Amino acid sequence: MESGLSLNDEIRLKWSQVMVFLENRFDKKPDLNAILFLIGIRELGELPEKKFTKEEKTYLMHMANCKLFSYSGYYRMNGHDKKGWPLWENIKPLPNLTLIEQEHVLRQHIIEYFEKEEIILFTI
């Protein structure tokens, strides 16, 4: 960190940039589930001709979680199903975290996703 900020301050600042970016893009402030849904759609790589079913929406969010937790080595992509949807494999047990800790880790990985996918060029 060249900025002199603590890691928590850097995460807070980058998270606020993610939120501003998404709010400007969609004209409303998304919650964590909406962000996971958007990442899932992006990972799918296409929009269907029809609306997503409830099960598909749930799986899109699962795909996003898998993608995000792949950064920590918990998941890896294991091909695609017959519809072309990514399949993920859990390769090591997820840590037993409190809800607050889970949200913190997800935020860190969402920031990492936006950086790695070059969606946002963070300024800190």
21: tokens are 């970016």
Share above pLDDT 90 across residues of the chain, in percent, rounded to a whole number:
81
Q: How far apart are CA 119 and CA 121, in angstroms?
A: 7
Contact 37, 60 (CB under 8 A): yes
- Over residues 35-62, the mean pLDDT reads 91
Q: Tell the residue number behind the tokens 């795909």, with chain if given.
A: 63
Question: At residue 28, does pLDDT exceed 70?
Answer: yes
Q: How far apart are CA 20 and CA 8, in angstroms?
A: 18
Question: At residue 1, does pLDDT exceed 50?
Answer: no
Mean pLDDT across the chain = 92
- SS3 (DSSP) at 80: strand
Domain boundaries, the chain: 7-116
Cα dist. 16→7, 64, 121 in Å? 14, 20, 13
Cα dist. 35→1, 65, 73, 75, 78 in Å? 26, 10, 21, 19, 23
DSSP 39-74: HHHHHHTS--SSPPPHHHHHHHHHHHHHHHHHTTTS
